[in-house]
């Protein structure tokens, strides 16, 4: 009985890693060009932008909140920086403007959710519409063309540090930073505590509102970075450049085993979820699936991820309860988020 | 009806029942039999095996070896909880497992064996009547009190069958006096009708009042079994925790620090070196005083040793050395899913762990080990989730968090020994008193007179605006209750009060 529980617990917590391996094996069997170094690098390169927003989103979910405006904020930051650069030909000024927009967007979300205590789903859904509308409004719905962007900004799209593309370096920084903050700092432990039991966290002197506000700002800034990275990659700033990103990011995070009800999560899971999602996309391209079918699959994966999330939480809870009923539990089962 | 005549098989019989969890033996060769109509109190520490024994009978956990019988029928290892329920075994937990958003009627029929059994209103009403309840069948369970929900759970055990065995697991832990008495008379009634009852409770007086026989479990074995007349409360406490008796009250050494708090115009004073109680009704003013001191009611200022002490929120209170152990450890104290160590150190990462910038697996190792030793915490390792510890040991972690990582100047404890077994209680009392003796102002708020009496040197008794003071002496416990009842009497000159209408 105890072994069955430990096994269920293990499977629930590590399912995404196994699923990733199965998926890679599946596509490799179907197409021998799939499992190549070039394609692997390609997948990671394509994961970068999504990964950069998924990590802060994971923190939000862990703290028991959510941000649905990230795609729209990415678009808004992309066109803002694009327009500023088109007007001034100053790359730094443009990037600064994009970052500032992300900061402001995150701060507004954070203020309304954390201090005014409005529902995060409703608030960020509202701002999804607001920032998407803003992006269309300031550009009159037109893309800021390649020719109006300064040369050195465009070169960022293909820049690399040593042999490693810039996007991958940024992704690596965000992932390592995310892991460090969640597992090795007071900030991370307090984030887990807030999601696990907000009242208890407050009674331990945790500044619950400030923490949540800070995470929302991180989410906004990350979204703006992503928007600008995408701009540099496609060499033009489209007002719909980030559309749908919130769904993709949410899928990744939920696939990664972050509990929608908060308090639980690991960065390694998010990374596995990210790779799973992108491998699925990439594999479908190899199978020459229609782009519309891919959109349907993103939605389906999100629903499956939510279903998995609730199943996983059930299994974990049940296993914990049964472990608890034992007189002296085994000490090697650690269900802590780590 | 007659008890235990030679030809009647016992209602419930254990034969060499053993349960192993991995390498741990939870129950060791339990052999006992319980006759129809008998009410047996089952006592033991957290972890002694009470819950495991219940789980075996309820079909939730198979025995490793040995067996148990219901009447003449030997129960197979593979029986499911539903099948065992259909044989007339009912288990009543502290918080019955009912579905809140369904009606009473639906809940009664939820666990039936036949998947499409149609709710029979007359049968349901009859079952409710037998438990002495006139609840509306269509009422939502969410709107019921805890006591009423327990009645629904009991009625479920009577639905279309006879109740043969009733297992009670801490049913009165969250009940008021009236509801407890109602439940007790119901238990007696069932016993008269031939039900074999096994009753688990931490409330020793309840056990003494209701049971005819007491079985004491320790480390998975039966260590005592006899008629209730062999025991009294003190003897029971001793059997449960050998070596535990009254608190040793050595001479008080009062320190310099003096905290003054005003309650409704009456000054209350607390000195370094002594443990002072605040005793009152459940949910009474004593808890509000602790909350004010911890900054939970906004800005609050008082006087500590002649200096102004100001708090505005928990963090500001903590920074001034005021620590609060909340009354509800699960809701307000512990973070489920986080490790034992994290639960202990969470408030202090900003002072240890490189000021919060490097929390490693070893952060606070030494502090944790010493706290664990001082509070005698048992269970898995520091890296295990807090959920894997038993109730008493979870409470000890909560206390360790506020006592040992950083020494408090003022320690506020709300019902610190509530819902923990006698052994854990003794450990907590000892640690709290030691902390006071080393020079901390300790304030204990409680609605249980025995809790105040077992920890405190002195206590204030509070009822609304009225305050009385008592110093610990013989019969402290009874005196506290008498004072509270006295204060609660309608006063001839006080303004009109709801109480006067009674």
| pLDDT tens per residue across span A194-216 | 999 999 999 999 999 999 999 99
**CATH 3.40.50.300 placement within chain B:** 12-240, 256-486
Instruction: Please report the pLDDT score of residue B246 as a whole number.
Output: 54
Instruction: Please report the pLDDT score of residue B64 as a whole number.
Output: 85
Is the minimum CB–CB distance between A183 and chain B shorter than 8 Å? yes
Mean pLDDT of all residues in A249-275: 88
Residue A114 has pLDDT above 80, yes or no: yes
Alpha-carbon distance B347 to nearest alpha carbon in chain A (angstroms): 5
Report ipTM (2 d.p.): 0.83
In whole angstroms, give the CA distance from residue B380 to residue B32. Answer: 31
Give the class (CATH, top level) of B12-240. Answer: alpha beta
Q: Which residues of chain B have pLDDT under 50?
A: 1-5, 242-245, 491-502
Mean pLDDT of all residues in A12-27: 84
A333 located within any domain: no
| A32-58 tens-digit pLDDT | 888 888 889 889 999 999 999 999 999
Who's near A173: CB < 8 A, 6+ residues apart? none
Domain count for chain A: 1
Question: How far from B422 is each of A233, B203, B390, B436, CA to CA, in Å?
Answer: 68, 10, 14, 21
Structure tokens that stand for B114 in this block: 């036949």
What is the radius of gyration, based on Cα positions, of chain A?
21
More confident residue, B491 or A304: A304
User: Helix, strand, or coil here: B31?
Assistant: strand
Who's near B410: CB < 8 A, 6+ residues apart? B259, B270, B293, B304, B321, B322, B323, B440, B441, B442, B443
CATH label, B256-486, candidates 3.40.35.10, 3.90.1150.10, 3.40.50.300, 1.20.1250.20: 3.40.50.300
Do B151 and B158 touch, CB atoms closer than 8 A? Answer: no
In whole angstroms, give the CA distance from residue B407 to residue B398. Answer: 14
CB distance A200–B62 less than 8 Å? no
Question: How far from A30 is each of A39, A275, A300, CA to CA, in Å?
Answer: 15, 19, 22
Give the number of A-B residue pairs with CB atoms closer than 8 Å. 136
Phi/psi for B354 (5° steps) reads 55, 45
User: Helix, strand, or coil here: B404?
Assistant: coil
A59 located within any domain: yes
Domain that residue A257 falls in:
3-321
Do B246 and B455 touch, CB atoms closer than 8 A? Answer: no
Is the minimum CB–CB distance between A188 and chain B shorter than 8 Å? yes
CATH of the domain at A59: 1.10.3470
Residue A11 has pLDDT above 80, yes or no: no
Side-chain-side CA neighbours of B107 within 13 Å: the count stands at: 30
In whole angstroms, give the CA distance from residue B206 to residue B199. Answer: 10
- Would the pTM count as exceeding 0.80? no
Alpha-carbon distance B340 to nearest alpha carbon in chain A (angstroms): 10
CB distance B380–A331 less than 8 Å? yes
A331 located within any domain: no
Instruction: Please report the pLDDT score of residue A338 as a whole number.
Output: 30
Instruction: Please report the pLDDT score of residue A335 as a whole number.
Output: 34
Which residues does chain A have within 8 Å of residue B334's beta carbon, measured at their own beta carbons?
197, 200
Alpha-carbon distance B217 to nearest alpha carbon in chain A (angstroms): 13
Which residues does chain B have within 8 Å of residue A328's beta carbon, measured at their own beta carbons?
21, 24, 47, 379-380
Left (φ > 0), alpha (ψ -120 to 50) or beta: where does B37 sit? Answer: left
Q: What percent of chain A has pLDDT over 90?
A: 61
Who's near B145: CB < 8 A, 6+ residues apart? B179
Split at pLDDT 50, 70, 90, the class of A333 is: very low
Is the minimum CB–CB distance between A288 and chain B shorter than 8 Å? no
- Alpha-carbon dihedral sign for residues A26, A32, A35, A41: negative
Instruction: Please report the pLDDT score of residue B2 as a whole number.
Output: 45
Ordered strands of the B466-471 beta sheet: B322-325, B410-414, B441-446, B275-279, B458-463, B466-471
Among candidates B332, B360, B384 on the partner chain, residue whose Cβ is nearest the Cβ of A334 = B384
Alpha-carbon distance B333 to nearest alpha carbon in chain A (angstroms): 5
């Amino acid at each position: 009985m105890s072994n069955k529980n430990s096994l269920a617990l293990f499977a629930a917590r590590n399912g995404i890693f196994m699923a990733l391996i199965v998926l890679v094996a599946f596509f490799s069997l179907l197409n021998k060009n799939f499992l190549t170094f070039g394609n692997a690098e390609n997948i990671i390169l394509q994961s970068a932008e999504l990964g950069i927003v998924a990590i802060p989103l994971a923190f939000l979910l862990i703290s028991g909140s959510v941000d649905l405006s990230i795609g729209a904020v990415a678009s808004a930051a992309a066109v803002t920086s694009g327009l500023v650069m088109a007007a001034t030909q100053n790359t730094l000024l443009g990037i600064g403007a994009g970052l500032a927009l992300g900061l402001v967007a995150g701060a507004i979300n954070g203020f309304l959710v954390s201090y005014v205590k409005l529902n995060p789903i409703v608030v960020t859904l509202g701002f999804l519409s607001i920032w998407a509308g803003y992006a269309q409004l300031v550009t009159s719905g037109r893309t800021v063309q390649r020719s109006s962007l300064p040369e050195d900004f465009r070169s960022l799209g293909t820049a690399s540090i040593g042999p490693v593309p810039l996007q991958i370096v940024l992704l690596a920084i965000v992932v390592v930073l995310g892991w460090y903050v969640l597992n090795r700092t007071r900030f991370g432990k307090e984030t887990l505590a807030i999601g696990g039991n907000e009242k208890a966290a407050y009674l331990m002197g945790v500044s619950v509102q400030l923490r949540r506000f800070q995470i929302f700002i991180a989410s906004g800034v990350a979204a703006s970075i992503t928007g600008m990275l995408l701009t540099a990659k496609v060499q033009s700033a489209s007002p719909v450049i980030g559309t749908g990103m919130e769904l993709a990011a949410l899928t990744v995070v939920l696939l990664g085993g972050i509990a929608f009800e908060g308090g639980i999560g690991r960065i390694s899971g998010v990374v596995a979820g990210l790779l799973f999602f992108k491998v699925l996309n990439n594999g479908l391209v190899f199978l020459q699936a229609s782009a519309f079918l891919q959109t349907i699959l993103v939605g389906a994966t999100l629903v499956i991820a939510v279903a998995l999330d609730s199943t996983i939480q059930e299994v974990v809870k049940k296993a914990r309860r049964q472990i608890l009923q034992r007189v002296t539990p085994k000490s090697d089962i650690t269900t802590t988020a780590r | 009806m007659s008890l235990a005549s030679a030809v009647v098989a016992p209602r419930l019989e254990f034969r060499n029942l053993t349960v192993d969890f991995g390498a741990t033996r939870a129950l060791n060769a339990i052999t006992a039999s319980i006759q129809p109509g008998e009410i047996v109190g089952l006592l033991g520490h957290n972890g002694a095996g009470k819950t495991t024994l219940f789980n075996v009978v309820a079909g939730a956990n198979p025995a490793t070896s040995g067996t148990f019988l219901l009447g003449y029928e030997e129960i197979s290892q593979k029986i499911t909880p539903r099948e065992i329920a259909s044989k007339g075994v009912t288990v009543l937990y502290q918080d019955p497992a009912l579905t809140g958003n369904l009606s009473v009627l639906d809940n009664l029929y939820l666990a039936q064996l036949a998947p499409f059994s149609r709710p029979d209103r007359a049968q349901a009403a009859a079952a409710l009547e037998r438990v002495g309840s006139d609840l509306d069948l269509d009422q939502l369970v969410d709107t019921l009190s805890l006591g009423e929900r327990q009645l629904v759970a009991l009625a479920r055990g009577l639905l279309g069958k006879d109740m043969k065995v009733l297992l009670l697991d801490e049913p009165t832990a969250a009940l008021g006096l009236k509801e407890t008495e109602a439940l007790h008379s119901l238990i007696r009634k069932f016993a008269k009708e031939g039900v074999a009852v096994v009753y688990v409770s931490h409330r020793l007086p309840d056990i003494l009042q209701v049971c005819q026989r007491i079985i004491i479990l320790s480390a998975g074995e039966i260590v005592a079994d006899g008629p209730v007349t062999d025991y009294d409360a003190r003897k029971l406490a001793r059997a449960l925790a050998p070596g535990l008796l009254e608190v040793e009250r050595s001479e008080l050494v009062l320190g310099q620090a003096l905290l003054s708090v005003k309650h409704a115009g009456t000054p209350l004073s607390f000195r370094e070196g002594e443990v002072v109680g605040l005793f009152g009704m459940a949910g009474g003013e004593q808890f509000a005083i602790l909350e004010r001191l911890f900054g939970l009611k906004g800005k609050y200022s008082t006087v500590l040793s002649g200096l102004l002490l100001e708090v505005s929120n928990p963090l500001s209170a903590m920074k001034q050395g005021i620590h609060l152990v909340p009354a509800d450890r699960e809701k307000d104290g512990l973070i489920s899913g986080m490790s034992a160590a994290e639960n202990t150190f969470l408030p202090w990462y900003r002072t240890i762990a490189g000021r919060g910038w490097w929390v490693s697996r070893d952060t606070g190792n030494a502090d944790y080990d010493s706290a664990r030793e001082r509070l005698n915490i048992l269970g898995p390792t520091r890296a295990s989730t807090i959920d894997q510890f038993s109730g008493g040991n979870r409470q000890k972690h909560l206390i360790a968090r506020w006592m040992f990582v950083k020494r408090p100047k003022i320690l506020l404890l709300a019902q610190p020994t509530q819902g923990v077994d006698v052994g854990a209680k003794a450990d907590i009392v000892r640690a709290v008193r030691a902390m006071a003796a080393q020079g901390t102002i300790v304030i204990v708020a409680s609605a249980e007179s025995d809790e105040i009496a077992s920890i405190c040197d002195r206590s204030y008794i509070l009822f609304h605006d009225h305050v009385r003071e008592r110093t610990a002496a013989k019969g402290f416990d009874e005196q506290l209750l008498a004072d509270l009842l006295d204060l609660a009497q309608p006063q001839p000159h006080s303004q009109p009060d709801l109480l006067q209408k009674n």
